[in-house]
Structure formats: structure tokens, C-alpha cells
Chain A
Amino acid sequence: MFELIPLSRAKKDVQYRVIDMKGGRSANQRLSDLGLYKGALITVEGSIFGPILVRVLDSKVAIGRGLAQKVYVEAIA
């Protein structure tokens, strides 16, 4: 079993699965609209000037550090 970490601490170029989102209802809904739902596969592309850059489905999404701390992910081997 891999360790559960907040997205803000995820490593670059590693694939993760979203396990939990604790940003509140409206933030979770906005995340889901962009393809970040519980169970989604994502790749972290790096952090630029604070926000975390995430590749999800075929798009790129920037997530503020505050919100990224509330999204829990697990690395995929």
C-alpha cells in the first residue's frame, strides 16, 4: 500500500490516483468538472510560482497550493 499524501507534496512526473478530496462541496464539484474526482488518474507536472500543475485526462490544470493541500493522492507503481 502506498502512502497517502496531499497533492501539494506530490512528486513531479509521477502518476497518482486521487483518493480523497476535502476542499468542501463546491471546491470538489469544481475539481470534478475539470476531471479531478475520487479515483481519477493524474500526473503532476511541477509547481510554478506556488500553484501545482497537474495533467488530467488530456488537459492541464493549475491548482492553488491551498486547495492542493486538501486533495489526497496515492502514487501508482
Chain B
Amino acid sequence: MKRSTIALVGNPNVGKSTLFNRITGHQQKIGNWPGKTVEIKEGKNKITDDGITFIDLPGVYSIEANSPEERVANDYIEKKKPDCTIQVIDSTNLERNLYLTTQLLEKDLNLILALNMTDKAERKGICIDEKKLSALLGVKAIKISSKKGIGVKELITQCSKIDDIEDSKKDKKILEELGLKAKSLSPKHRYDVISRVASLVLKKPRCIKSRSAQIDKIVAHPILGLPIFLFVMWLVFQASFSLAEPFTALLEDSLASLSALSTELILSSGLPSIFASLISDGVIGGVGSVLVFLPNILLLFLFLLILEDSGYFARIAMITDSLMQKIGLEGKAFIPLVLGFGCNVPAIMATKVLEDERERLITILINPFMSCSARFPIYVLFAGTFFASDQGLVILSLYLIGIFMAILSAFLLRRMLFKKSAPPSLLIELPPYRVPTFCTIARQTYFKGLLFVKKAGMFILSISLLIWFLASMPLGVEYASEQSLIGSIGKLIAPALAPCGFGQWEPTVALMFGAGAKEVVVSSLGTLYGAGEEGLSSAISTHFTPLSAYSFMLFSLLYMPCFAAIAAIRKESGDAKWAIFTVLYTTSIAWTVSTLFYQLAIFFGFA
């Protein structure tokens, strides 16, 4: 076998990932195209086990290099020159899919067309003469069903049979006959060619009954659509948090016992206690605080993939677009922003659905203002202590301020960075509803999780160790006490936070710890005030006033996101500068808003 790489291209929602998973099974590698954040999946053929590498390129409608995805797909085909390229085609939508084919035919490729979902097409009475199609286009076309595994083996065998030289000669002649040889063809020209081809190979009933249309009558109904949509969103959150709870509890317990066990082992082996602290406070404590969010992250991601795969995602973008346009964003940004209320990490990863690079970046950068669930315990503690009777209202106000800051930031970023005033108008295909393929989704979730742990793990570990070091040095001090390095730094920075109303070293240090994971702010305050969980409420009531408490909540809401989110921003924006920008931008916003609030409140005599 001489062929070594086969690339898969195709429109979104044609079952490309399902085919890729069927061929490669568990051995997959996700990589990024250099300089781009678009993911390329790579895996070895396990069906015939011949050492061929399959490449899953991002789903695109064309390769004329509009979106990052299109650029990557085009660059890959042109620069890496795969030995064979398979275009996966949705047989129920042949003509639109052939638009990409006409572009691929012009490239110097060994192209094979995989007419996917052939079973579904037949059920609908759509009949494609693939032999005639092959003859007309000069490339092999094979009917397959990636979901059922029909024709996949034959497809792979065909790939190895392509004879480059003879075929490419033939190609040119056929292209001329088709009228595809001219340079920079207009879309109309391409579609005219397609409709000529389709008239010869495609037979379809005049009226295709579609289940999707029936579902859309209810789901995209002008009145029913909204409550259904709100119910789905509620379900996603409810399910992801209640399902995550047992796993989170289990993780917390095992981390606690692991920490105790390691301390015991180290102390009994006669090593100095500083090592025990390094392992239990530094490594296990630091990494653990992020790890406990992994069940939530994975579940939110799972639901996101289900929404995408089922076809409902596009409907959400449509339903929310008008509202989002009013606040200067587009409908596709809705889900990534709402997911932020759960956890900013999967939310930032979900920005991939935005095709426009600038919109994607804006949605990434404003995401930290969506108040994630880790910030909730901070609000509960402070609002419960100082505003017990209006707790709900106070917490709601924080969420709304977060949303407001996100909208304001989107506006500012768009004006200052891109000199543009409005997001692009909605344009989205509403794919037919489908039952998601469980295997594909589970696998994708697993790989996303693994990738995140791998990429962010080292970063989070090193930051955790740095914080541990600052809290334990100089040797002999009590962990995170006033005398420790972090205590000294806290004291140094504290005056800067005085205008916000909480210029003592304890809240300052707690906020520094909170950068590791926001929920840590609460437990840190407990440690710093020597209060523990039960006495914490009374401890903060002596150290804060209602005004400074609200100001502290504002600051916690708005200041730099946790390191896991920063790592996600760095990865999804493709540039470390945006991660640094986020840290500086959010923290200055937090300082400004808290200070304004506190000083104005004092000025107007609310103290």
C-alpha cells in the first residue's frame, strides 16, 4: 500500500465526523493548523488496518477562503497534498453539495465522492445514478451510509486504486466539457453546471415529505418557539449540574483523601513538612480546584454537541438573532454566552460555531463577564450575610451587571479593535433534525476534555505551584499568613483596592487565590480570617460593611477569570496576547466599577 494520507472534506452536517469515527475508531489525534485555531483531526484507518492516515478537515460550504475553516481546508488540500481526498456528500441535498465539488474538481486532486446518507435518500424517494455521476465528473462516486457502515470498506478500497496520472489527464478533458475550466467562475455558472449534471443523474419526487418541517412547525413556531427554547436551556443547565454533582462530590472526596494520604506518607517518611504542604496544598489543592469542574465542563460540552448535532442549535441562533442584534451581537453568539453562566471554559470553546473571526474573538473576550457557577458561592456568602432579606435581588443584580458589562465590552471592542458598528446579519443553514450519534458525541466530548486537561493542565499546575510557593515562603511561616510572601504582596496591593472599599490584605489575598478558581475565594477568606466555614459569616460581617461587601461581589464578578478560562482564551483566540489583554481589561473594569460604586455610594451618603 503506497498511499498514506486521505483527507475528508465536505459541507457541515453531512455526517463527515461519523464517517471519520467509523474509519478511525478510538485512535484519534486533534491538532491545530499552524497559526489557526481550527482543529484538524487525524486517525489511522482501523477498518482495513493498512496504516493509512485519515484527516478530518473542518466542515465548509466552499473553499474560497472566507472563514478560518475554509482557509484551513483549502490550505491543507493545497499545501499538504493528501494522496486522496474524499468529499462526503449529503445525498438528500446533492446539488448544494456539488457546489463544493465544482471547486474541488478544479484543484489538482485525487478526488472521490462519498454519497453519504444514501439510505435516508432512498427512503425519501431520491435516486442518484452514481455511475453516471462518476462518468460525468470524471471522479469515482460511491454510495455509503456512515451511520450504518454501508459502503465504507469499498470507499477505502477505491481510494487505494486511484491512478493519479491517468485520472488527472482525464479530469482536464471532462472539466472542459463541463465548462469548469475558466478562471474564477461565477456562482451562477457553477450552479448551472450542477443543474445540468443533476438533471441527468438525480431523480427526486416533486414534493419531499420531511419530518424536519413538521418539527419546525412546532419548534420554530412564532409563539411556541420561545417557551420551548427556554425549556431546553433550562434543561441543559439543570441536567448538566445535577448529573455532575455525584461526580464532583466523588472527585472532591478522593482529592481530600489523596491529600491526607500524601501528607501522612510524606510525614512518616521523615521529609520536612514543607513537602507535605507542597503536595497537598500546592499540587492537589491547586489542580484539584480546577479538576472538580471537569464533570460540569464535560457535561455542558456534551449538551452543546447534542444541540449542534440534533440541528436545534441553528434554530436557537435564528430565534435569538433579532434580540442579539439589538445588543450588538449575532444569534450564533447566544449559546457560547449562555453557557458562560455554567462555566466559561466550555463556553469559550463553544465560540467555534461563529464563522466570522472577529465575532468569534469578541464573543471569547466578553465571555468572562458571564457570571459562572464558581462565582455563585461568593455571592451566597456575602449577600446572605449582609442582605439576607433581599438576597435574591442582590444576586440577580450582579448577573445583570455582568451581562451589561459584556454587552458594553462587545460594543467597545468592536469600535476600537475593528472599527465596525454592527455584527454581520444572520445567515445560517437549518439542517434537518437528526437523532445525534451517541458514539460520535461521546467521543468528541472525551477528546475535548482530554485536550483541555492536556493543554491547560501544565499551565494550571505551574500557576498553582507559584501560588503555593508565595503562600509558603519564607520558610517556616504559616501557610498564606500575613508573614508569607503572598501576605506581603497582598499588603502591598491592598492600598490599591482601598478605593473599592476593601483595602485590607485578607480580601486581597483571597482574590489572588480566586484567580486559580473563583470558588476558592470563599474558602481562602475562611482560612485567612481563621474562621472556618461556620464562623465565616460572622467573620466577614466584622470586616466588611454592606457597601464594601457589594463592592467586593462586584469585583469578584468582573475581575480576571480563573486560569482555566485564561488557558481556554489563549487556545481559542490562538494568541497569548488576548489572554493577557483579558486579564488586564477585566481587572481594570472590576476596579473601576467597584470604585465608582463605592465612592458614589459614600458620596451620596449610603454608608
Contact = CB atoms under 8 A, between A and B. Distances in A.
Interface of A: 23, 26-27, 29-35, 37-40, 48-51, 53, 56-68
B324 to A, nearest CB: 10
A53 B322 contact: no
B325 A49 contact: no
B425 interface: yes
Q: Name the residue in B64, B221, B319, B321 with the highest tally of chain A Cβ atoms < 10 Å from its Cβ.
A: B321
A23 B424 CA distance: 10
A61 to B, nearest CB: 5
B329 interface: no
26 contacts: A27-B425, A29-B64, A29-B187, A30-B427, A34-B61, A34-B96, A37-B191, A38-B186, A38-B187, A39-B192, A56-B96, A58-B92, A58-B204, A58-B208, A59-B93, A60-B429, A61-B427, A61-B428, A62-B429, A64-B321, A64-B325, A64-B425, A64-B426, A66-B325, A67-B424, A67-B426
A50 B66 contact: no
A39 B191 contact: yes
B188 interface: yes
Nearest to B194: A57
B306 interface: no
A27 B186 CA distance: 15
A49 B62 CA distance: 28
Q: Name the residue in A26, A48, A61 with the highest tally of chain B Cβ atoms < 10 Å from its Cβ.
A: A48
Contact of B426 (A32, A56, A62): A62
B61 A61 contact: no
Q: Name the residue in A26, A39, A40, A49 with the highest tally of chain B Cβ atoms < 10 Å from its Cβ.
A: A49
Q: Name the residue in A33, A49, A53 with the highest tally of chain B Cβ atoms < 10 Å from its Cβ.
A: A33
A8 to B, nearest CB: 11
A63 B325 CA distance: 13
A20 to B, nearest CB: 12
A62 B314 CA distance: 9
Interface string B398-427: 000000000000000000000000101111
Q: Name the residue in B94, B314, B320, B427 with the highest tally of chain A Cβ atoms < 10 Å from its Cβ.
A: B427
Contacts of A63: 425-427
Contact of B187 (A37, A60, A64, A65): A37
A50 B99 CA distance: 28
B425 A58 contact: no
> Is chain A's binding surface mostly helix, strand, loop or mixed?
mixed
B25 interface: no
A35 B427 contact: no
B14 to A, nearest CB: 11
Contacts of B225: 48-49
Contacts of A27: 424-425, 427
Contact of B191 (A30, A35, A61): A35
Contact of B188 (A33, A38, A62): A38
B318 interface: yes
B222 A49 contact: yes
A61 B430 contact: yes
Given A34-B429, A64-B325, A48 B318 contact: yes
A49 B64 CA distance: 31
Contacts of A59: 93, 96, 429-431
Nearest to B98: A57
A58 B318 CA distance: 19
Interface of B: 61-62, 64, 66, 92-96, 99, 186-188, 191-192, 204, 208, 212, 216, 220-222, 225-226, 314, 317-323, 325, 331, 422, 424-431
A23 B425 CA distance: 10
A34 B431 CA distance: 12
Contacts of B94: 58
Nearest to B63: A33
A40 to B, nearest CB: 7
A49 B95 contact: no
A32 B191 CA distance: 9
A58 B209 CA distance: 11
Contacts of A37: 186-188, 191
A51 B187 contact: no
A40 B318 contact: no
Q: Name the residue in A27, A37, A58 with the highest tally of chain B Cβ atoms < 10 Å from its Cβ.
A: A58
Contact of B322 (A23, A39, A50): A50
A53 B208 CA distance: 17
Contacts of A40: 191
Nearest to B192: A39
Given A34-B61, A51-B426, 14 more contacts: A34-B429, A37-B186, A39-B192, A48-B318, A49-B222, A49-B225, A49-B319, A51-B331, A53-B220, A58-B93, A60-B216, A62-B314, A62-B426, A62-B429
A38 B62 CA distance: 17
A56 B187 CA distance: 14
A2 to B, nearest CB: 19
Contacts of B62: 29, 32-33
Q: Name the residue in B64, B320, B429 with the highest tally of chain A Cβ atoms < 10 Å from its Cβ.
A: B429
A64 B321 CA distance: 8
Contacts of A49: 222, 225-226, 318-323
Given A32-B187, A67-B427, A62 B318 contact: yes
B322 A62 contact: no
B66 A64 contact: no
A12 B188 CA distance: 25
B137 to A, nearest CB: 18
A65 B425 CA distance: 7
B580 to A, nearest CB: 30
Nearest to A28: B187
Contacts of A67: 424-427
A31 B96 CA distance: 12
A66 B186 CA distance: 24
Contacts of A58: 92-96, 204, 208
Contacts of B226: 49
